[in-house]
Structure 1
Amino acid sequence: MTVNSTTDIDGLLGFINASPSPYHAAENLAQMMESEGFLRLDEKQTWQLKKGGRYFYTRSDASFVAFIVGQDMAERGLRLLGAHTDSPCLKVKPSPELNNKGYSRLGIEVYGGALLNPWFDRDLSLAGKVSGVDEDGKLVSALINFEKAIATIPSLAIHLNREANKNKSVNAQKEMNALLSGLREDFSFRDLLLAEVKVEHPELNFVEVLDFNLSFYDVQAPATIGLHDEFIASARLDNLLSCWLAADAIRHAGVEQTTVLMCNDHEEIGSRTEAGAQGTLLNDLLARLVPEAAQRQQLVRNSMMLSIDNSHGVHPNYSDKHDDNHGPLINAGPVIKFDADQSYATSSDTAAFVRWLAAKEPALALQSFVTRADMRCGSTIGPLTASNSGIKAVDIGNAQFAMHSCRELAGVDDAHTMRALLDRFIACEKIPF
């Protein structure tokens, strides 16, 4: 089995740029699949699935699932690609208006484990979901994206804090409220949202905003940078890079093998929601695919998951933060992630299987990552999915710098290598253990 694959880097950058929130990511993935002939499903309805059929749906507008119904599902199992649509960010509080000292600001709360310092002095916009009522009094909702920079979080001048470059800590409650404009006594954030909804969705006849889930984001567009354009610089590489690569692989996959792409929301905050990996999303799909319990168990044990989430590349300025034998390099191949306490789902069997796939001609480079013995690693949807479903899993991802910053860095070559590895995984007829 040989697979030579590349991915469309410009398409990747465009997808990330158009996906400033999990809602937008899920909708853009849906549009991608629909353009390839996948059929949209609704979890509230009865499904009539066919062999060779290609389908997709969303849950809570922010988690995305696409799947192909292959042959002999129970005997061959399924190939599951897992990623997540959310990224650490700054969210707008429910009652955010802060008007004092001649300025209008918005109060924020931190979503996930964000690096806070990079958010200062950036050109920020807002995107997400707005819910309200229309002219007939019906509940309606819409996605919005201001696109232009409407806010910033100015740093305090060094003259007013001479210790700013020494052990700087950030108080998110006091120091990260977003500056929106000079003070206007009639300022209402909900009125601002209502006006934006009317501009973007005039057909909905919105008359009142009841609630919202909105995130700030840096408007600087994704780009390839470096002396030889070898790096990808962008917000939300963790984990929209993985979402794109997995979606690109499944939309070009054949229909013989049952394949599932599952991009969960809420990974960055523990996945404990109906749309997260600790919810029922995967098991609900498995019950639809194979209603009979014994056959479904057979399917599960013949299946495997690649939990695709970026890894920490060894930073040349902070190389002592890595184990000497496990410092992945950007553009040196995808990284298999290990943890003795199973914060990553990788086992020796699943790692060996991935190495076996990569060794096929032409060989694909792989790397390994484990944290220093005196540090804790992060977590992914891999162990949660494996424990909830019983499906074997391996955690793997591309090396990157500045994880959880509002501007991250990954490798162009790694994107192509990961895409090729995903194609080999999907095409494999049987999991050999």
Structure 2
Amino acid sequence: MSASSASIKPAANFVQFVNQSPTPFHAVAACKERLNSAGFTELHENENWAKTINPKGKYFFTRNQSTLVAFAVGAKWTPGNGISIVAAHTDSPCLKLKPVSKKEKAGYLQVGVQTYGGGIWHSWFDRDLGLAGRAMVANGEGQYAHRLFNIAKPILRIPTLAIHLDRSTNEKFQFNNETHLTPILATEYKSSCGKGDAETKKAADGLLFSVSRQIGAHHPELLQAMAEELSVDVKDIVDFEACLYDSQPSAIGGLKNEFIFSARLDNLMMSYCSVESLIRSTEEDGSLDEEENIRLIALFDNEEVGSTSAYGANSSLMETTMRRIQATGQSPTAFEEGVHRSYMISADMAHAVHPNFSEKHEDNHQPQMHRGIVIKRNVNQRYATTAVTGLVLRELAAKHTIPIQEFVVRNDSPCGSTIGPMLSARLGLRTVDVGAPQLSMHSIREVAGTDDVGHSIDLFTAFFQEFTHYNKGIWVD
């Protein structure tokens, strides 16, 4: 029997979200749309929040349009009380256009790209690639607007070399990231004089001449496609940041509709579940009436490259946000008091056991899809989970019959990390690291279980609604 429509619905909604979100900018825009619809008010960091933040109020703000923080204030919250946090990240490994991307070789127009994060780059070969990002667009009056674009059609491709020209390719696929990982955009023949159309070449030359700060940096054809998506003149595109992505839409698959086949599961799945759980925990009348904490989500950019940026988890963003919220009272130690009453779920995807490589997993820690959210632990502090922080989620999961799994890496295996230890160390914040199990992490195409979207939302929602109750029974200095 295939999965019921009720159990598939959260996964289907997530698939819709991830298809809207080819870049962190688009993911944040999609989250803003959901928060606005749920009655959240947008704040701005360059404004005074003191008279804006009120009990039972719901708010959000963005930084760089690629990081988002949203929070709801409990009716019984006072400065010095805690903040219940779920933190995730919006970025994924990908290829990004170089500032000067124009390349030509062997009769092809190509684009130069940079590798962002620790991607499985061989998975990017022979995929149909779109291009999306944000552009800074001049309005003709000395002002510039942040605009998103998404060229969803497959305009780029990185072709593999035929086996006839490399008989060893099935033994070991080797390539150079700089010289071999270069997508083709078009042929010189078709893009210039191949049609014998002098007007086509004249228009392309004129277009190149008109591009203010982008003269010679990018192929005119690429800039024209971008301008058409933005409905602006090419000359008004002052600068842009662009990511390549798999243009094949994410989908639910498997014989029983048990899988999500998608790009960017790490970590848009946890970002989506964070937003949905915050909204769900506040959508009913009276849902904040007895709440003594603030419920907050933080979705950071740049986790895949170490989080050290103005909008990454290793910035001052979380601390300044918590300080500004606590500053609405008069106590000079409200921030410090609040930190030690707070708790954070660091939500990042986890490794499901691989049926073809099960020996890579520790014998007693082999997470499976549909069997629940994974609590991740590492004695070398690659994850921030402790006995105290893990207890909260185990108690909540048991109460709501939400399955939970455990994960540690083998002693002879390296261990990844998350934003959890980083934020925990910066703030002295109690933290647990969790994630939904998936396969093919950091590939252009990843796999997760449909049930685990619902499991994650249910667990995070229960955390927001009930943490203050459990916190009173597990206080540890």
TM value normalised by structure 1: 0.95
* Aligned length, in residue pairs: 428
2:333 is aligned to 294
Residue 338 of structure 1, aligned match among 377, 402, 419: 377
Deviation at 1:190? 6.2
Residue 152 of structure 1, aligned match among 151, 154, 157: 157
Letter in 1 for 2:280: H
Question: Which has the higher mean CA deviation after the structures are superposed, 370-379 or 287-296?
Answer: 287-296
Deviation at 1:133? 2.8
Q: How does 1:26-425 map to 2 (within 5 A)?
A: 26-47=28-49, 48-70=52-74, 71-74=76-79, 76-183=81-188, 184=191, 186=204, 189=218, 191-192=220-221, 194-202=223-231, 207-254=235-282, 255=288, 256=291, 257-291=293-327, 292-360=331-399, 362-425=400-463
* Cα deviations by residue, 1:73-127 (Å, 9 ceiling, x for unpaired): 4565111010000000011111111112111000111100000111111010000
SS in structure 1 at match of 2:153: coil
Deviation at 1:418? 1.4
SS in structure 2 at match of 1:148: strand
Deviation at 1:396? 0.2
Q: Does the C-alpha gap of structure 1 residues 282 and 193 become closer, same or farther in structure 2, counting only changes over 3 Å?
A: farther
CA distance in 2, matches of 1:317, 1:5: 28
SS in structure 2 at match of 1:315: coil
CA distance in 1, matches of 2:124, 2:186: 18
Contact 2:7/2:451, CA 8 A, preserved across alignment = no
Deviation at 1:209? 2.9
SS in structure 1 at match of 2:17: helix
Q: Does the C-alpha gap of structure 1 residues 400 and 247 become closer, same or farther in structure 2, counting only changes over 3 Å?
A: same
Deviation at 1:196? 4.2
Deviation at 1:213? 1.2
SS in structure 2 at match of 1:174: coil
SS in structure 2 at match of 1:340: coil
Deviation at 1:273? 0.5
Contact 2:40/2:58, CA 8 A, preserved across alignment = yes
Contact 2:80/2:335, CA 8 A, preserved across alignment = no
Contact 2:151/2:229, CA 8 A, preserved across alignment = no
Question: Which has the higher mean CA deviation after the structures are superposed, 309-318 or 252-261?
Answer: 252-261
CA distance in 2, matches of 1:174, 1:403: 25
Contact 2:11/2:451, CA 8 A, preserved across alignment = no
SS in structure 2 at match of 1:127: strand
Q: Does the C-alpha gap of structure 1 residues 374 and 34 become closer, same or farther in structure 2, counting only changes over 3 Å?
A: same
Contact 2:102/2:219, CA 8 A, preserved across alignment = no
Q: Does the C-alpha gap of structure 1 residues 403 and 140 become closer, same or farther in structure 2, counting only changes over 3 Å?
A: same
Letter in 2 for 1:135: G
Q: CA RMSD in A?
A: 1.9
Deviation at 1:339? 0.7
SS in structure 2 at match of 1:94: strand
* Cα deviations by residue, 1:287-307 (Å, 9 ceiling, x for unpaired): 111114412111111110010
CA distance in 2, matches of 1:394, 1:302: 15
Give the percent of matched residue pairs that are identical in Structure 1 and Structure 2. Answer: 37
SS in structure 2 at match of 1:108: strand
Residue 26 of structure 2, aligned match among 20, 24, 27: 24
CA distance in 2, matches of 1:403, 1:112: 12
Letter in 2 for 1:27: A
Contact 2:108/2:185, CA 8 A, preserved across alignment = yes
Q: Does the C-alpha gap of structure 1 residues 285 and 192 become closer, same or farther in structure 2, counting only changes over 3 Å?
A: farther
Letter in 1 for 2:228: V
Q: Does the C-alpha gap of structure 1 residues 150 and 354 become closer, same or farther in structure 2, counting only changes over 3 Å?
A: same
Letter in 2 for 1:321: K
Letter in 2 for 1:298: E
Q: Does the C-alpha gap of structure 1 residues 375 and 15 become closer, same or farther in structure 2, counting only changes over 3 Å?
A: same
Contact 1:5/1:420, CA 8 A, preserved across alignment = no
CA distance in 2, matches of 1:200, 1:307: 36
Deviation at 1:197? 4.9
Q: Does the C-alpha gap of structure 1 residues 76 and 294 become closer, same or farther in structure 2, counting only changes over 3 Å?
A: closer
2:200 is aligned to none
- Return 5+ residue gaps in structure 1 as ranges: none
Deviation at 1:284? 1.3
CA distance in 1, matches of 2:274, 2:381: 23
Contact 2:93/2:116, CA 8 A, preserved across alignment = yes
Deviation at 1:138? 2.6
SS in structure 1 at match of 2:30: helix
CA distance in 1, matches of 2:43, 2:268: 23
CA distance in 1, matches of 2:262, 2:8: 20
Letter in 2 for 1:28: A
Deviation at 1:387? 1.3
Deviation at 1:225? 0.9
CA distance in 1, matches of 2:175, 2:396: 45
Contact 1:80/1:260, CA 8 A, preserved across alignment = yes
CA distance in 2, matches of 1:130, 1:178: 21
TM value normalised by structure 2: 0.86
Letter in 2 for 1:49: I
Contact 1:400/1:408, CA 8 A, preserved across alignment = yes
SS in structure 2 at match of 1:224: strand
Contact 1:134/1:206, CA 8 A, preserved across alignment = no
CA distance in 1, matches of 2:109, 2:233: 28
SS in structure 1 at match of 2:392: helix
- Return 5+ residue gaps in structure 2 as ranges: 1-5, 193-203, 209-215, 283-287
SS in structure 2 at match of 1:175: coil
